[in-house]
Amino acid sequence: MNKPQTFRVKSFGCQMNVYDGERMAELLADRGMTVADEGADADLVVLNTCHIREKAAEKAYSDVGRLRREDGSKPLIALAGCVAQAEGEEARRRSAMIDMVVGPQAYHRLPEMIAAAAEGRAGVDTDMPAATKFDALPARRRGGVSAFLSVQEGCDKFCTYCVVPYTRGAEISRPFADVVAEAEQLVAGGARELTLLGQNVNAWESDGRDLAGLIRHLASFAELERIRYTTSHPVNMGESLIAAHGEIGKLMPYLHLPVQSGSDSILRAMNRSHTVESYLATIARVRAARPDIAISGDFIVGFPGESEADFERTLQVVDAVGYAAAFSFKYSPRPGTPAAGMDGQVAAEVMDERLQRLNERLQHHGRAFNQGCVGKTVDVLVEKKGRRPGQMIGKSPWLQSVFVETAAGIGEMIRVTLTEALPNSLGGVLAEPIGSRVVSV
Ligand code: 5AD
Ligand code: SF4
């Protein structure tokens, strides 16, 4: 096979996979390859996979199968991401179509693997090298208005249901200077909002600074308007980060803080290292610092041993917090995790029924939150064109999509009065003519 000229990277799973996918694409472009045109065959396809639940992992293999072309040929295929890390050599036994298997800490070596694979030498690289991949990746290119920036990877918490400590390795923080340098590149490339990413992003620390210190530093960039971070663990929600929400205007009023379950005995079995009470106390402190903050969460229903009473406690936490947004999942036993072997696995029908009840409750609170925004006048960062002529779509401080008719361009911050709550977004009208804020300073 000739060396590939065109490529496509497809990412699944979390925002960190999206970030990794962007960096792989930049790496390949840096080595002279070009992104395949929409609808055209690519010479190389990178599937950047997710292993978090069984469905996501199985999808990786069905997607590989679908890459077979009508004439029987196939592109070079790299299986990347967390399925690659978890399965290694096994992935190539499951599908002979896969030419390369590359884990999330080894993808900076893709160019060499591709050169070898083009000569018929398949490769598997699931090393977790101590020298980080970041040093080997090219500088960030011009990107979108809102950019992801990985600052922390891996997890030492070992929740008993979760594959992340195995697929992403131990917790590491990228050094302060590296993060700042990448942030500068992104802002120079047009980013007006940065979302700092980490599996336990609020555990980030470097050179005696914590995440609040990093955010404070980034907030001093004149052209950077907004800062967000995700995902946080309740035990790392320290006082300085909580205080930062009340002190740093550019830090958006949004916190994704998964609780997983509202039952202390289930939280213990999950090895979550927090209780319902300590979680709710943290939320209360965050709200005291920033009263208008939107809280979002993750939930698992049907963890082994979860009784109806345990589940009802989860519903109580949902009501107590009033989540603005949430992600809810049925427990999925993952190979190699302690919970997969626990007694009391919950029947599929019971999980279905609980998930439905949970979702109804979460939707109720999500709608109430959106409804409560109607009438407020807020800053909206314009991100893209809407479907209707003259319509643009931006983001509110609380991460809702806002539809508004405006002549403002992508990357501009506009004042919008929110007029309408739709199921997954808000409608609004311009509160001030564009540019008036600039004139009035
Ligand atoms: N089954 C179901 N949901 C899971 N999550 C993590 N592992 C599992 C699993 N084995 C969920 C958690 C986590 C989110 C990213 O995915 O809610 O916060
Ligand atoms: Fe999926 Fe977790 Fe890997 Fe993200 S870190 S891709 S959620 S398994």
Give tens-digit pLDDT for 199-235: 999 999 999 999 999 999 999 999 999 999 999 999 9
328 closest CA partner among 304, 351, 344, 305: 351
pTM over 0.75: yes
Burial letters for 206-235: b for 16+ Cβ neighbours within 10 Å, e otherwise? beebbbbbbbbebbebeebbbbbbbbbbbb
Q: Which two tokens stand for residue 161?
A: 């249901």
**How many CA within 13 A on the CB side of residue 398?**
26
- Is residue 14 lining ligand 2, measured as CB closer than 6 Å? yes
Second CATH level (architecture) for the domain 6-125: 3-Layer(aba) Sandwich (3.40)
| Angle in degrees, CA 131, 134, 140, rounded to 5 | 165
CA dist 316 and 251 (Å) reads: 29
Q: Is the pLDDT of residue 440 over 90?
A: no
pLDDT in tens, 84-134: 999 999 999 999 999 999 999 999 999 999 999 999 998 999 988 766 799
Which ligand is nearest the CA of 159, by number?
A: 1
324 closest CA partner among 252, 235, 220: 252
pLDDT in tens, 287-307: 999 999 999 999 999 999 999
> Pocket residues for ligand 1 (CB within 6 Å)?
52-53, 161-162, 258, 260, 298, 300, 329, 331-332, 334
Domain 133-373 carries which CATH code? 3.80.30.20
- Is residue 155 lining ligand 2, measured as CB closer than 6 Å? no
155 closest CA partner among 209, 103, 203: 203
Known binding positions = 14, 50, 82, 155, 159, 162
Helix (H) or strand (E) holding 57: helix 54-65
CA torsion sign for 242, 245, 251, 253 is: positive
Q: Is the pLDDT of residue 419 over 50?
A: yes
The percent of residues above 70 in pLDDT, for the chain, comes to: 97
Known binding positions for [4Fe-4S] cluster = 14, 50, 82, 155, 159, 162
Could you tell me if 118 and 1 are in contact, meaning their C-beta atoms sit under 8 angstroms apart? yes
Contacts of residue 395, defined as CB under 8 A and 6 or more positions apart, other chains included, come to 146, 193, 380, 381, 383, 401, 402
Pocket test for ligand 1, best of 270, 301, 303, 329 (most atoms within 8 A of CB): 329
CA dist 151 and 182 (Å) reads: 10
Domain with CATH 3.80.30.20 in the chain: 133-373
CA dist 119 and 399 (Å) reads: 46
Q: Is the pLDDT of residue 439 over 80?
A: no
CA dist 105 and 167 (Å) reads: 9
CA dist 82 and 336 (Å) reads: 14
Could you tell me if 170 and 152 are in contact, meaning their C-beta atoms sit under 8 angstroms apart? no
Mean per-residue pLDDT for 161-178? 95
Helix (H) or strand (E) holding 70: none
Query: How sure is the predictor about 17, in pLDDT bands with cuts at 50, 70 and 90?
Result: very high
Q: What is the topology classification, in CATH, of domain 377-430?
A: OB fold (Dihydrolipoamide Acetyltransferase, E2P) (2.40.50)
pLDDT in tens, 248-264: 999 999 999 999 999 99
pLDDT (0 to 100) of residue 438: 45
Q: Which two tokens stand for residue 130?
A: 């101590």
Domain with CATH 3.40.50.12160 in the chain: 6-125
- Is residue 82 lining ligand 2, measured as CB closer than 6 Å? yes
DSSP string, 237-290: --HHHHHHHHH-TTB-SEEE---B-S-HHHHHHTT-S--HHHHHHHHHHHHHH-
Helix (H) or strand (E) holding 317: helix 308-321
Q: How far is the CA of 300 from the centre of ligand 1 (A)?
A: 6
Q: Where are the alpha helices (DSSP H) in 119-205?
A: 164-167, 176-188
50 φ/ψ sector (left φ>0, alpha ψ -120 to 50, else beta): beta
From residue 91, alpha-carbon distances to 118, 167, 187, 298 in Å are 19, 14, 38, 29
pLDDT (0 to 100) of residue 302: 98
User: Chain-wide mean pLDDT for the chain?
Assistant: 95
Task: Tell me phi and psi for residue 228, to 5 degrees.
Answer: -130, 170
Q: How far is the CA of 153 from the centre of ligand 1 (A)?
A: 17
24 closest CA partner among 112, 108, 116: 108
Strand-pairing partners, residue 390, are none
Mean per-residue pLDDT for 369-374? 97
- DSSP letter at 73? -
pLDDT (0 to 100) of residue 327: 98
CB atoms within 10 A of CB 176: 18
Which ligand is nearest the CA of 167, by number?
A: 2
Query: How sure is the predictor about 434, in pLDDT bands with cuts at 50, 70 and 90?
Result: low
Mean per-residue pLDDT for 228-249? 98
Task: Tell me phi and psi for residue 94, to 5 degrees.
Answer: -70, -35
Distance of CA 145 to the CA centre of its chain: 17
The percent of residues above 90 in pLDDT, for the chain, comes to: 93
pLDDT (0 to 100) of residue 130: 66
Q: How far is the CA of 262 from the centre of ligand 1 (A)?
A: 15
Q: Is the pLDDT of residue 158 over 50?
A: yes
Query: How sure is the predictor about 441, in pLDDT bands with cuts at 50, 70 and 90?
Result: very low
Domain with CATH 2.40.50.140 in the chain: 377-430
Mean per-residue pLDDT for 399-414? 97
